[in-house]
Chain A
Amino acid sequence: MKAFLFKIYMLLFMVLVVFFIVVIWNVTFGHIVHEYYERQKVNDITALKGSNEQEVEKSTFEKVILESDERVKNYLGYKILEETRIKGHFHHIGFDIGPDKRSYCVKCHGDIPHDAVKEIRAFLNMHTFFVGCQTCHIKLEGKNKTGVFKWYNRMSGEIVDSPVKTARPGTYKAKIIPFERVNGQLQRIDNDERIAFALEYSKREKTLTEGQKSRAIKLIHKLVSKKPVQCEECHQKDNPLLPFEAIGYPKERVDSITSTEVVGMIKNYTKFYMPKMLTPEEAKKK
C-alpha cells in the first residue's frame, strides 16, 4: 500500500516536472522561436510593400465565422464589461446570448433561423430569443390543444418559474414551450424521444441515402404546421395564443403587448405580407 502511494506520488511529481518544462520552454526558447516566425511574416509583407496593391484577404471559414466572435473588455473601474465585438457595432451589447442547449431545432436551423420574409424576419428572430420554436411552429388544434405553456431554461433545459418579473423584457435565460397531452398526461412537446431521434439523425446523416434522409426530415417535421402562428394570434386582446397571466406576465405588460399601439404597429409591418405555407418538402423542391 505504501509503495503504491509512493508510486502515485512520484507519478504526480513527474507530471508537475513535465508541466514546468513546458512552461519554461514557452517563456524562454519557445518565445524566441515564436518571435522569429513573427519576424519572418513581416519580411513577407515587406516584400509586398513596393506594390501599390492591397492584399485581398481570403475569406476562410476560420476568418469569417470563428474569428468574427472576437471579445472586448471595457475596463470601467467598478466593473469590467466584457462583450462580443461585432465589427462596426456602435451600441453596446452588454451580455452574451447563452446557447439554447435544449432545442434540437437550432441544431440544424441555427439561432437566427428566419430570413425569407424581409418585413418581419428581424421580429421573428427577436421572439426566437424567448419563445421556443415549437410555440410558433407547432399548432396544437382541436382536442390536442392544451393551452398550457411553460418556461424552460436555455442551458439546463429544465422547466423553471417565469422569469418575466426578474429581468428586462426579452432578456430572459428561459424560453416558452408548449405542452401536449399524451395518454391524459401533460407532457412537454420537446420530449426526450424527439430529441434523441433528431440527434441520431445528425449523427448518422452521412451514412444515409437520399431517400432515408427525406423520410427522417419529414418525421422530424411531422408536428410542424404548414402555417406558423401569426403575429396577431398572440398580439390580440381576446383569446391570445399564450396565456399571458399564467406564464407570469403582470397586467401592465399584457396590456402593452396587446395594446392598440403595438398591434397597430404590427399591422404596418404585415400589411404587404402574405403568409406562406411552409413544408420541408416544398422547400426542398425549390
Chain B
Amino acid sequence: MSLKIALKNYFILFLPAITIMLFMPATSFSADIGNCLLCHKYPGISRVDEEGKLKLFYVNEDIFNNSVHAKVKCDGCHTDIKEIPHKHAIKVDCLVECHIIEPASKKKFSHKDVQTFINKSVHGVIDNKGKEKKFKEDFPTCKSCHDNPLYRPISFFKRVRPGISEQSLGRCRVCHKSEDFIYRSYNHVTTRLHPLNIAGVCAKCHNDLALVTRHGLSTKAVYSYGETFHGKAASFLDERIPNCLDCHVSKGESVHQMLTHKDPNASTSEQNKGKICTTIDCHPSASPKLAKYGVHSEFNLTQSPAQYFFTVFFIVLTGGTLLPLMVIIFLDIVRRFFPNASIGGRK
C-alpha cells in the first residue's frame, strides 16, 4: 500500500463519525436497538467465509442512525435472530411486515407494493405472457439496487442544493413541536440520491458488457450517459441535472416502474420521448425535435454516425496540431542542449 493511500485511509478513519455527529441535531435520536450493537458496533467483528469472502458483521451506529431505517429495530428486519449465540441468519426479506404503523392507513407497514411495480417493469422476471425471461439471475432484486439508504435531504427553498433548508424548518415549527419529528419528516420527504449514485446503482448491470449484450441492449447506458453533457454535469455534482429516473420513469409513477423504450407506454418510447426534454423543469421552450439528441450516444460509427465523425474530426484536429507542435518544441530543446552536435558531418 502506498503512503498516499495509507494516509488517506488514516484520515477517513475518523472523518465520517465526526461529520455525522456535527450534522446531527442536538436532540440525537436512535432506535431502541436492544443489545445488538453491544457486539456489532465493533468494526473488527468479522471472519473469512468458506468461499474466501470477507464477512463483516459490523454496523456503524452513527451512520445507521442517519439512515432511513433508523427507527426500525434490528430484529424488525432480522426477524430470525432471537437468541445469543445466533446461528447462520436467513436472508432479510425486504417485503416483511414490520412493526412500524403506516400513519395514513394505520396498517402495519411493508414494501410489498414496490415489488408489484418491479414486476410490471422491464426489471420484472416474468414477461407479459407469463413466462420467465431468459437469464433470470441478471434481474435486480431490492438488495442489488439498494444498500441501507442514507438520509440525503434536498433544500428547494430558493435554490436546489443538498441539505436542510432552515427556512422550511421554520415553517414546520409553526405547527409541529417535536424537533425530532420535524427533522425526520423533512428528511423522509426530501431525501434523494445524488444523480451519480443513482447511475452507480444502475452501473452494476448496465455497464457490464456481458450483461448488456446478453439482453440485446445497445449501449453501456451509464458509460454513455457519462459521455454526454448530462453525465458530465452530474460529475460536477450538479443537483438539477436529469438522472436515469427523470427520463426513464413516467411522471407520477413509482421510480421502480421503468419500461423498455420499445413499449409505447414508456416515457422513452419514440412517441413520448419529446415530452421528457420539454418538461417545465428542463427545456420548456425547446421543440420536441430536441429528443433527437442522442442521450446515450456511444462513440460508435454504426450507432451514432454524426457524433462519431464530429468527435473524430475534433480529435484529429486537436491531436494533429498539438502533438507535432510538442514534438517540434522537444527537438528544439534537444538542439539547445547540443548546439554543436552534427549528424554525418552536417551541422
Contacting B10 at CB < 8 Å: which of A81, A93, A98, A114? A98
Contacting A10 at CB < 8 Å: which of B148, B213, B336? B336
Q: Is A115 a contact partner of B47 (Cβ separation < 8 A)?
A: yes
Per-position 1/0 for A27-51, Cβ under 8 A of B: 1110110010001011001101100
Distance of A127 Cα from B23 Cα, bound (Å): 30
Per-position 1/0 for A56-98, Cβ under 8 A of B: 0000000010001000111111110110001111111111111
Q: Is B56 an interface residue (CB 8 A)?
A: yes
Number of interface residues of B (CB under 8 A): 79
Q: Is B14 an interface residue (CB 8 A)?
A: yes
Distance of A31 Cα from B318 Cα, bound (Å): 12
Known: A45-B213, A122-B45, A155-B6. A76 touches B322 (CB 8 A): no
Q: Is A126 an interface residue (CB 8 A)?
A: yes
Residues of A contacting B48 in the complex (Cβ-Cβ under 8 angstroms)? 112, 115
Q: How far is the CB of B87 from chain A (nearest CB, A)?
A: 10
Interface centre among A68, A79, A82, A86 (most CB of B within 10 A): A79
Q: Is A123 a contact partner of B45 (Cβ separation < 8 A)?
A: yes
Residues of B contacting A55 in the complex (Cβ-Cβ under 8 angstroms)? 210
| Size bin of chain A's contact surface | 35 or more
Q: Is B319 a contact partner of A167 (Cβ separation < 8 A)?
A: no
Q: Is A86 a contact partner of B162 (Cβ separation < 8 A)?
A: no
Known: A25-B323, A168-B61. A74 touches B150 (CB 8 A): yes
Binds A, one of B36-44, B113-121, B122-130, B285-293: B36-44
Residues of B contacting A35 in the complex (Cβ-Cβ under 8 angstroms)? 299
Q: Is A155 a contact partner of B44 (Cβ separation < 8 A)?
A: no
Distance of A76 Cα from B152 Cα, bound (Å): 6
Q: Is B330 a contact partner of A129 (Cβ separation < 8 A)?
A: no
- Of all chain A residues, the one with the shortest Cβ separation from B318 is A28
Contacting A75 at CB < 8 Å: which of B43, B196, B318? B196
Known: A28-B318, A49-B213, A77-B163. A126 touches B60 (CB 8 A): no
Binds A, one of B62-70, B172-180, B245-253: B62-70
Chain A interface (Cβ < 8 Å from any Cβ of B): 7, 10, 13-14, 17-18, 20-21, 24-25, 27-29, 31-32, 35, 39, 41-42, 45-46, 48-49, 52, 54-55, 64, 68, 72-79, 81-82, 86-99, 112, 114-115, 119, 121-123, 125-130, 155, 167-171, 173, 262, 265, 268-269
With A170-B44, A171-B17, A269-B84 known, 17 other A-B pairs at CB within 8 A are A17-B330, A28-B319, A49-B216, A76-B150, A77-B152, A78-B23, A79-B23, A91-B63, A92-B60, A95-B15, A95-B16, A95-B17, A98-B6, A99-B9, A112-B46, A114-B47, A268-B84
- Can you list 30 A-B pairs with a CB-CB distance of less than 8 A? A14-B333, A20-B326, A28-B319, A28-B323, A72-B200, A73-B196, A73-B197, A75-B194, A77-B163, A78-B19, A78-B163, A86-B54, A89-B147, A91-B59, A91-B64, A92-B64, A93-B43, A95-B15, A95-B43, A96-B13, A112-B48, A121-B47, A125-B44, A129-B44, A169-B41, A170-B41, A171-B17, A171-B42, A173-B14, A265-B84
